Amino acid sequence: MDNQPDQFFIDSARRTISLERSAIDSLGGALNSEFAEACRHIVATVGRVVVTGMGKSGHIAGKIAATLASTGTPAFFVHPGEASHGDMGMITRQDCVIALSHSGNTQEVLTLLPLIKRLNIPLISITGNADSELGRASDAHLLASVESEACPLNLAPTSSTTAALVMGDALAIAVLEAKGFTAEEFAFSHPGGSLGKRLLLRVTDVMVHGDEVPCVAHTATLADALYEMTRKGLGMTTVASAEGALLGVFTDGDLRRAVEENSDLQTTPLATVMTDGARTVTEDLLAAEAMSLMERHQISSLVVVDNASQIVGVVTLLALLRAGIS
C-alpha cells in the first residue's frame, strides 16, 4: 500500500471525478414539471422549509437547508430519528418538507410520512428511485439517480450524494431567482463575511469625522498644513473656505514637491502648493465603491462631503483595509 506510485492515486481521483461528473450531467435530463412544482411549493411556503435525511443523505440535507436559508428561504435541518422522538413538534402547518433518501425507502424517513400527511403540508423528495415509497408519497419528486457510485465497491454514497447536493442547489437557485433575491439581501444573511462587508459597509461607517478630520483654512501657510497633517496622522489635510466648503487637499506628495522646490515652510502660502479640488464621495456610498475609486485613481484617501460641498469627513485606504474591504 505504501509503495503505490503517485500515478495510482491520481488515476483513482480522476476516475472518481469522472464518475461524479457523469452523475451530475445526467441530472439535467431528469428535470421535468415536478421540479417546477417543487419550486412553487417552496416559493409559496409561509413558514419554513424543513429538510431531512438519514446518514450521508442527512449531511447533504443539512447543506441544502443552509443554502436555502442563506438565499432568502428560511430553512433548517431535522434529523428523522430525532423527529420521531419529539422534534416533529418543530414542523408546523405553514411549513414545507424536503426529504432525501437515495433508495427512497429509508425507514426513519418513511416513519415521518403519516405525520407530514396529517399536517397537510407539501412533501418534496429527492431520491434515486421514482418508484420508491417516498417518491410515490411526495407532492413533487426529484430524481437524482446514478448508474454507479464512485466507490469501486459501489457501496459508499459518493456519486449519489453529489447528485442530491447538486439537485438541492438547483432548487435553491431557481427559488432565489423566482423571488428576485438580491446581493444586498444575501449580505444581510452573511454580515460577518467578506461579501457582507462589501455590500453593507458604507463610507460613514469607516470615515473619520468631526475634530479628527485634518483641515486648514485657505489662508494657511505650508507650515500650518504640515502641523495639521502631523497632528491628525492621515498623510493629508483638507483645505477649506471660510464657509467650510472644500477648496483642495494637501498631501504627502504635495509636500515632497514643495520641499524639492525649496519652498519656505513659514512663508509659502498653502494655496500655491496644494492640489485644487479633490476626489470626493458622499457618506452613504458603499465602502467597496470608495475602495474601487481609490484604486482606479491611485490615491490613498477621499474627502467626504455633503450636498453643499461642505467637508464632513475623510476616508482612507488604510481604514478600508482594516474594515476588511478588499
Residue 148 has a pLDDT of: 86
**What's the confidence (pLDDT) of residue 198?**
64
- Residue 89 has phi, psi (to 5 degrees) of -65, -15
Judging by beta carbons within 10 Å of its beta carbon (0-12, 13-18, 19+), is residue 18 exposed, middle or buried? Answer: exposed
Are residue 173 and residue 223 in the same domain, yes or no?
A: no
Number of separate domains in the chain: 2
Same domain, 38 and 121: yes
Residue 196 lies in a domain: no
Mean pLDDT by 10 residues, the chain (326 residues): 85 93 90 96 96 96 95 93 84 96 95 94 96 96 91 85 96 92 62 62 91 93 92 93 91 89 89 89 88 90 92 93 82
- Three-state DSSP class for residue 127: strand
173, 247: one domain: no
Query: Does residue 186 lie within any of the structural domains?
Result: no
Domain that holds residue 251: 203-322
pLDDT at 155: 75
Residue 200 pLDDT: 74
Q: What is the pLDDT of residue 84?
A: 79
In a domain, 194, yes or no: no
Q: Is 187 part of any domain? A: no
What is the pLDDT at residue 63?
97
HEC readout, 252-318: HHHHHHHHHCCCCCCCCEHHHCCEEECCEECCCCEHHHHHHHHHHHCCCEEEEECCCCEEEEEEEHH
Residue 34, all three cell numbers: 415536478
Given 181, 211, 232, the domain boundary residue is 181
Same domain, 118 and 241: no
pLDDT number for residue 147: 85
Q: Residue 62 is part of a domain; what is its CATH number?
A: 3.40.50.10490
In terms of pTM, does the model score above 0.85?
Answer: no
Last residue of a domain, one of 181, 213, 234: 181
